[in-house]
């Protein structure tokens, strides 16, 4: 029986989403409870807890921020964000939702009474689908919950960041022909330069990226390839943790775990009253219905046992399984994904059998990273790598590596623009990410200030995924743990997102509210 089955992270990948009614969440959580990060889970049909950034030495003053990653202009994701926020309000009484791209009071609660409940839902659906509002605003507009949606941006920095975003369009138009030419050369050289061994590795990477090979199978292949390339896996801490959990899983005796669990139930039934057993019985039903995670259920079971003075170590098979689930829940699938990307690139370079192959790989990786920058889609590890090395954005160096190979194999490679100017243009785009870091500092200060004002230890934040790593480090340093929730997503229309972002940037809040009022066909 496969328990772990760590699927590829869903963030950024199209996923099937089950349709739902927001009111359905309320039937699952009948009463509020204090927040316990060990037992927190999201209904799998809406999303998952994808990463945790705990405080090393928590205390009574430790705060919790539930960062829900925003999939911009993605209808399914935002319906799921609304459901996750509703769960947090109903189950834990959470009221404060911190929002990017706004400063101070925001939200749509002032539109609730216009035209009646049904009208508000129709209106919210229309504008959620168009991208004019987001999941948090949808919930605020269609529910009666006492929510506070609070913008935590320094709008001067945000506007500068938006200007950098707009400037990138011109740079992209200028440099895209250069990248098209480079990518054509890379593709043509592949069959000329790459050895059969390297072609096999490239095929495996492509298969994983396309989703035609499972995560576990791909990792098994990478372990073999790393060994063949004499690469140590020791530097890859998250991957090592994952491999260790796979090993634990392979030797688990589920029958013994079941027997151990039944023994604990028998003791609990003799020792505890009905009120003490009610939470675990309710959560058991929710687990069967797919409404809570296996981890959340077993943490509740362990807590119930502890409350009754029982030691989990007296039930060794079950205790081991609970420990396994704790470790699994502590994995950061984002960190695993980042390490995976670094490892596969190291394997590519380590598998090169000639200088020509090595140059082809180095150029390919550098050009791919630079093109992500060109489209403002740098991943966190791209940004961290650039900050450390201040390199990788030198088109002249790419030509130095590729030109001799292209000449040898009669492949056309021409620089349609001045390469030094191209380098300067690429480095201009780095300003976008420098401003993101400055925004993060402002977001930290304003979030903690608002949580203090609202006298709350727990808040939600809806924020783009690129901010996660930087915010986690900042908040951890201020005694605040982050739980990252990734909503299930559908297809995103990048072009439409760009249009809506520009449109919103130029429309005042008052005018925006006016535009929302009519529901016209």
3-state secondary structure 422-463: HHHHHHHHHHHHHHHHHHHHHHHHHHHHHHHHCCCCEEEEEE
pLDDT of residue 493: 52
222, two tokens: 């990478």
Q: Which own/partner contact pairs does 389-392 have at CB distance under 8 Å and 24+ positions apart?
A: 392/366
| 199 vs 503, higher pLDDT | 199
Give the C-alpha separation, 184 to 413, whole Å: 9
Q: What is the pLDDT of residues 23-36, one digit of tens each?
A: 444 444 444 567 88
pTM: 0.76
CA pair distance 491, 14, nearest whole angstrom: 5
User: What contacts 24+ positions apart, CB below 8 Å, involve 230-237?
Assistant: 230/350, 231/343, 231/346, 231/347, 231/350, 233/343, 236/339, 236/342, 236/343, 237/339
CA 516, CA 41: separation in Å to the nearest integer? 34
Say if residues 77 and 464 touch (Cβ distance below 8 Å): no
Among 21-25, 187-191, 374-378, 514-518, the least confident range: 21-25
Dist CA 290 CA 417 (whole Å):
56
β-sheet bridge partners, residue 67: 461, 484
76-80, 169-173, 474-478, 506-510, range with the lowest pLDDT: 506-510
DSSP symbols for 102-154: -EEEE-SGGGTTSS-HHHHHHHHHHHHHHTSS-HHHHHHHHS----EEEEE--
Nearest to 443 by CA among 147, 65, 6, 112: 65
Give the per-residue pLDDT at 229: 86
Residue matched to tokens 């938006």:
162
The stretch 374-394 carries a mean pLDDT of 91
* pLDDT reported for residue 311: 93
Q: How far apart are CA 474 and CA 494, in angstroms?
A: 29
Q: What is the mean pLDDT of residues 40-53?
A: 84
Helix (H, G, I), strand (E, B) or coil at 96: strand
Task: Decide if pLDDT at 16 tops 50.
Answer: no
The tally of CA atoms less than 13 A away on the side-chain side of residue 436 is: 22
Angle of helix 468-476 relative to helix 380-389, nearest 10 degrees, comes to: 70
- Rounded CA gap, 379 and 382, in Å? 5
CA 221, CA 171: separation in Å to the nearest integer?
A: 39
Q: Which residues contact 293 (CB under 8 A, 6 or more apart)?
A: 41, 42, 44, 48, 49, 287, 329
Kindly state the tokens that stand for 313.
């170590």
Report the alpha-carbon distance of residue 448 to residue 96 in Å, rounded.
Answer: 12
pLDDT of residue 17: 27
* Rounded-to-integer distance, Cα 119 and Cα 237, Å: 52
- Which pLDDT value is given to residue 78? 93
pLDDT at 360 over 90: yes
Least confident range from 61-75, 405-419, 507-521: namely 507-521
Task: Assess whether pLDDT exceeds 60 at residue 464.
Answer: yes
**4-13, 68-77, 497-506: least confidently modelled range:** 4-13
Q: 3-class DSSP state for residue 485?
A: strand
């Amino acid at each position: 029986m496969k328990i772990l089955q760590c699927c590829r992270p869903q963030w950024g990948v199209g996923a099937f989403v089950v349709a739902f009614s927001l009111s359905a969440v309320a039937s699952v959580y009948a009463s509020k409870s204090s927040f316990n990060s060990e037992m927190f889970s999201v209904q799998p049909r809406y999303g998952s807890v994808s990463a945790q950034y705990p405080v090393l030495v928590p205390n009574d003053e430790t705060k919790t921020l539930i960062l829900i990653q925003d999939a911009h202009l993605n209808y399914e994701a935002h319906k799921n964000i609304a459901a996750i926020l509703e769960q947090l309000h109903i189950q834990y009484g959470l009221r404060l939702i911190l929002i990017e791209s706004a400063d101070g009071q925001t939200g749509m609660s002032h539109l609730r009474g216009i035209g009646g409940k049904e009208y508000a839902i129709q209106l919210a659906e229309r504008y959620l689908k168009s991208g004019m509002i987001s999941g948090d605003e949808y919930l605020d507009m269609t529910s009666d919950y006492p929510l506070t949606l609070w913008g935590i941006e320094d709008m001067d920095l945000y506007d500068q960041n938006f200007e950098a975003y707009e400037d990138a369009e011109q740079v992209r138009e200028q440099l895209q022909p250069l990248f098209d030419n480079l990518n054509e050369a890379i593709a043509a050289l592949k069959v000329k330069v790459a050895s059969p061994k390297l072609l096999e590795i490239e095929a495996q990477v492509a298969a994983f990226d396309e989703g035609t090979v499972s995560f576990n199978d791909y990792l098994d292949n990478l372990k073999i390839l790393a060994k063949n390339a004499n690469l140590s896996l020791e530097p890859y801490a998250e991957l090592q943790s994952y491999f260790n959990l796979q090993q634990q899983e392979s030797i688990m005796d589920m029958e013994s775990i079941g027997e151990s669990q039944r023994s604990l139930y028998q003791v609990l039934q003799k020792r505890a009253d009905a009120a003490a057993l009610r939470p675990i019985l309710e959560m058991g039903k929710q687990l069967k219905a797919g409404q809570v995670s296996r981890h959340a259920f077993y943490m509740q079971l362990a807590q119930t046992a502890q409350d009754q003075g029982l030691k989990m170590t007296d039930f060794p098979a079950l205790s081991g399984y609970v420990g396994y689930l704790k470790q699994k829940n502590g994995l950061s699938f984002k960190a695993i994904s980042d390490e995976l990307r670094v490892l596969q690139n190291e394997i590519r370079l380590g598998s090169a059998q000639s200088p020509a192959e090595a140059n082809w790989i180095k150029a390919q990786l550098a050009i791919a990273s630079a093109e992500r920058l060109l489209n403002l889609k740098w991943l966190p590890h791209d940004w961290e790598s650039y900050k450390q090395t201040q390199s990788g954005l030198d088109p002249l160096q790419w030509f130095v590596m590729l030109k001799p190979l292209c000449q040898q194999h009669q492949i056309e490679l021409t620089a349609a623009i001045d390469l030094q100017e191209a380098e300067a243009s690429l480095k201009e785009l780095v300003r976008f990410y420098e401003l993101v870091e400055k925004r993060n500092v402002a977001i930290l200060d304003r979030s903690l200030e608002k949580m203090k004002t609202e006298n709350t230890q727990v808040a939600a934040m809806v924020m783009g995924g690129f901010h996660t790593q930087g915010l986690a480090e900042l908040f951890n340093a201020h005694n605040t743990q982050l739980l990252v929730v990734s909503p299930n997503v559908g297809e995103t229309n990048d072009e439409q997102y760009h249009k809506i972002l520009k449109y919103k940037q130029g429309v005042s809040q008052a005018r925006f509210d006016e535009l929302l009022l009519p529901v016209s066909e």
